[in-house]
Amino acid sequence: MKKSSVVSRSGRFASGPAAEVADFSQSISFDWRLWQHDILGSLAHAAMLQKIGVLTKTELSAIRRGLEQIGEEIATGRFEWKPELEDVHMNIEAELTKRVPAGAKLHTARSRNDQVALDVRLWLRDEIAALVSEVHALQRSLVELGASNAEVIIPGYTHLQRAQPVYFAHHLLAYVEMLERDGGRLEDCYARVNVCPLGSGALAGSTMPLDREFVAKQLGFIDEAGRPQITQNSMDGVSDRDFMVEFCATSALIAVHLSRLAEDVILWFSSEFNFIKIADAYTTGSSLMPQKKNPDVAELTRGKSGRVIGNLVALLTLLKGLPMTYNRDLQEDKERLFDTADTVRACVRLMAAMLANTSVNATVCAAAASDPLLLATDLADYLVKKGMPFRKAHHVVGAVVALAEKSGQPLNRLSLADFQGIDRTFTTDVTSVFDLKKAMSRRKLTGAPGTLEVRKQLARWKKALA
C-alpha cells in the first residue's frame, strides 16, 4: 500500500489510502483548473483571519507571498500537482504550509466543503461573464450577416414546406431574439451564483467569530446596491448545487438553440437549397469523395448539444435523493459543469466565426422567393379586403391554387378569366398581389418580416449590441 501525506488523514489514520482508492477518489486531474479561484478565496479568507486576530499581520503577508508565488508557478507550468493530495485545495494548502509555517492556520474555520462551493462559484462567475460576451458576439454576427444581405428574401417554412416570404435577415433575427433570452437567463443565473458560501464550514459553520460579510465584499459577492451576499444556511451552503444546475440548464437551452441554427445552416448549405456559401476555412472535405465540402462546424455544434443536455441530466441525477449535506458524490459535479461551459462556449464562438465567413447566394434565394405560391395567403387577404369572409377566401384561393396546379401554370400566370371563373370578386388589380417587393412592404406589424419593420429591427439590434 502506497503511503501518502494526505493532510486530511493526519492523526486519525494509521495508514494512507490504498493506491487504488487514492486514484479513484482524486479530483486533481480536473479540479486543478480552479486554482486561480482557490487562491483568491484563500487570500480573502486569510485577510479575514487577520482581521479577527487569528493571523498576525506578518503571518498574513507571508501567506499572501506564498500563495502568490504558488500562483506564479502554476501559471507558468512549474507547479507539481500531486494526485496523492487529492484535489486542488489540498495541493495548494500543503505546498503553502511547506513554505510558510503560518499556512497551517489558513484552514481555520474552513472546510473543503465550503471551499469547493466557493471556488466553483468564483469560477462560474467568470465563466458566465465570458459566455455572455460570446453570446453577444454571435448575435452581432447574425445581425451583420442579415444587414449585409438586407434585400435578400427567402421562403419562410413551416413543416419544412414553403410557407410565406421573409427577409433572410428576419430569419436570422429570430435567433438573435433567442440568444437575447439566453443572455438574460445567464444573467439571472449569475445573481444566484454570486452568493458567498464561505463560513458554512463542513456543514455547521464555526465557533470562530468569522466576518463573512468582509470575505464576501473582498471577493465581489455583492448585489447591485453593494450589499454583501452570503448564504443563510450552512447546510444548504455546502450542499447547494442549484446554481450549477441553472447554468447547465441555461447552457443546454443555448445548445438547443444553436443546434437549430446549425440545422438551418446545414440545410441552406446543401445543394438542394444552396442559399449560402461557407468559406473553405470553415468547412471540411471528405477523405474519399473529392468533390465534398461539408458544414462540419454546424454539424458538430448540432451534435454537441447532446452532451450538454446529457450534462444537465447527469447533474440532476447526481443531486436527486442526495441526503444532507456534503457527500462525496458532489465531486462528480465539476466535470459535467466544466464540459458544459467549455462545449457551449466553443460552439457559440465557432458558430459566430463561421457566420462571419458565410456569404449569401442572392440569385438562388431570389429564385426560391419568387415562387408565387408563397403569396397565396396574400391573395386570400386581397379577397378579405374586398369584403369576403376569411374562411371563404381561404376556400376560393385553395381552388385557384388547385386550378394552377392542374393547368401546370404558376399562380401569377393565370388569366383574369381564370380567377373570375372561380370567384367574381377578383378584378384586374389581382396581379398586384404577386409583386413581391410590394407584398413585403405591406407587412407592417411589429415583429413581421416587412421591409420597414425588418430594417427597424436590424437598426435596433445594431444599436443594442454595439
Task: Using CB under 6 A, list all residues that contact ligand ARG.
Answer: 27, 31, 87, 112-113, 116, 326, 328, 330-331, 334
Given a contact cutoff of 8 angstroms between Cβ atoms, the answer to whether 23 and 86 are in contact is no
Tell me whether residue 341 or residue 351 sits nearer to ligand ARG (CB atom).
341
In the bound state with ligand ARG, the residue whose beta carbon lies nearer, of 112 and 125, is 112
CA atoms within 13 A on the CB side of 357: 15
Instruction: Tell me if residue 271 is catalytic.
Output: no
Q: Which residues pair with residue 154 across a beta bridge?
A: 166
User: What does the DSSP assignment read for 167-180?
Assistant: EHHHHHHHHHHHHH
Beta bridge partners of 196: 230
Shortest reach from residue 153's CB to ligand ARG, in Å: 54
Residue 10 per-residue DSSP state: T
Catalytic-labelled residue, pool 5, 25, 148, 286: 286
**Shortest CB 89 distance to ligand ARG, Å:** 6
Nearer to ligand ARG, 112 or 212 (CB): 112
Contact 449, 170 (CB under 8 A): yes
Distance CA 416, CA 403 (A): 13
Contact 239, 324 (CB under 8 A): yes
We find the least distance from the C-beta atom of residue 103 to ligand ARG, in angstroms, to be 18
Nearer to ligand ARG, 116 or 368 (CB): 116
| List 159, 271, 287, 415, catalytic entry | 159
What's the CA gap between 222 and 202, in Å, rounded?
23
Strand, coil or helix: 14 = coil
Omega cis (within 30) before 325? yes
Cβ at position 326, least distance to ligand ARG in Å: 6
The whole-angstrom separation of Cα 217 and Cα 196 is 9
Residue 249: CA atoms inside 13 Å, Cβ hemisphere, count?
11
Give whichever of 43 and 116 is closer to ligand ARG, judged by the CB atom: 116
Q: Please, which residues bridge with residue 228 across strands?
A: 222
Alpha-carbon span 141 to 130, nearest angstrom: 17
Q: How far is the CB of 338 from ligand ARG (least distance, A)?
A: 12
State which residue, 83 or 421, has the beta carbon closest to ligand ARG. Answer: 83
Sign of CA dihedral 403, 406, 412, 416: negative
Closest to ligand ARG by CB, 85 vs 166, is 85
CA atoms of 79 and 33, how far apart (whole Å):
13
159 is catalytic: yes
SS3 for 268?
helix
Cell numbers representing residue 429 in the block: 388589380
What would the DSSP string read from start to end of 356-414?
HTEEE-HHHHHHHHT-GGGGHHHHHHHHHHTT--HHHHHHHHHHHHHHHHHHT--GGGS
Positions marked catalytic: 159, 286
